[in-house]
A and B are shown apart, each in its own frame.
Chain A
Amino acid sequence: MAEINIQIINEEKTHTVVINGQLDESTVDEFAEKVYALIETIESNSKVIFDLEGLTYLNSKSLGYTTDFYNKIIAKESKLILAKPQANVKDEFNLIGLDQIIPFTQTLNEAKQM
């Protein structure tokens, strides 16, 4: 069973979700629940940053959730940014074409300045 550690850091209108571990069938719903709860609370013109440095793998359901998060965040006139993904994780996002709609950054600072 995979382990996941999710930490949410709220700084005014910037909300950073730090993800460590793997997102698979056993952890993805817990993760999604936390992110949906966060999206409920954000104001317009906010930024939701996923810090992916510690994420080693995500399954297809997580990819589907990410698309849904993006749609919900956009509906709230806010931004979703994916920061510091590992190469294999970036590959997955690229393959489903999410890199064409969601911005990726190499550092957290870059993400915060977007």
Chain B
Amino acid sequence: MTNNIIPTLLALLPAILWGSYFLIRRDDNFKTYFLVFILACSTIGITLGYQLAYQSLISNYQNFDLIRPIKLYILEYSSFLWTAITITWFASSEEVIKFFITYILDKKNPELIITLQDSLKFGLLAGLAFSFGENVIYFLRSGSFQELGTRSIITMCGHMVWSSFIAYFYGLSKFSKDINIFKKFTGEKVTAKSISKFRKNKIITGILLSSVIHTIYNLMFQINLKNNLNTLISIFIIFFGFIALNIIMDQKYGKLKFIITDKYKGRLDQKIIDTMYEYMGYNYMKKKYEIVFQTASRLLKREPDNNVAKIFQAKSYDKIQSQTK
């Protein structure tokens, strides 16, 4: 028992530090975050569970080992290809399993995710919890403090970045209706079909993006490049992801609160609201972001729950900020 507690506490420490860095300094929704973290710890169990279940199945019933003939066939050509395939499979399945925590929580309690950042934070916590579980297992196996240290800094950050990317795209998909109205009025062609396509594409993009980055990162440990280039690439992947995550978290657009019910009815006539979208869209395309920001702010005074006006306001605010930097 004591043998398990020490590695758990050691692995928990970096999880707390990373969590504090990304979450506590931004808001105080600690209780929800804690519950998400606890729930997300189960993902390591699910991941290991399916691997062990498969191992147990094929050791007892060898006829069920459908992968072995494929493996032998590929190994005849290239052992690296087989390594790449298995790494891709494990990285992708880990990402999908972590993503399901955000997905299930959102389906059960849609009001928990009302900003893109909420979604992103849930993904971040799922990654953190998964990595925490993985660190405990690795430490129990190897007992290496050096490995635990490296994993706590680099791999843990990686898991947070990858799973928060999926969750961010999931958030974009969740709020696709309002985002697409914004797109329509800023010159993009939008149809009912394209909204549904947008929704699916965002989820697929998120899964692909995080799986590909995760796979490349893991592959870097399987190859030897000159001058330790593989190590540099893996560190660059984490560093770039960390910077991107920080930028997304600091954007006003990511923080804006979406009203997630269709029951809401505005006080202004829809024709006037559409005229305002058109006016803001025109000015947005002309890069007159100050006009857009002010118009959106006035519209929000009259219609505080108008999601599209919030997008116009946040997007123009971010543009103004980037122009003044």
Contact = CB atoms under 8 A, between A and B. Distances in A.
B197 interface: no
Interface in A10-66: 57-61, 63-64
Interface string B289-307: 0010011001100100000
B299 to A, nearest CB: 6
Given A88-B269, A91-B268, A63 B275 contact: yes
Interface residues of A, number: 14
B278 A95 contact: no
Interface in B268-325: 268-269, 271-272, 275-276, 278-279, 282, 291, 294-295, 298-299, 302
B249 to A, nearest CB: 31
A58 B276 CA distance: 11
> Which size class do B's interface residues fall under?
10 to 19
Q: Summarize B's interface: helix, strand, loop or mixed.
A: helix
A94 interface: yes
Contact of A96 (B268, B269, B295, B302): B295
Contact of A60 (B275, B298, B302): B275
A95 B295 CA distance: 6
A59 B279 CA distance: 8
Contacts of B294: 97
Interface in A65-114: 88, 91-92, 94-97
Contacts of B282: 60-61, 64
A64 B281 CA distance: 12
A60 B302 CA distance: 18
Contacts of B276: 60, 92, 95-96
12 contacts: A58-B275, A59-B275, A60-B278, A60-B279, A64-B282, A91-B269, A91-B272, A92-B272, A94-B298, A95-B298, A96-B276, A96-B295
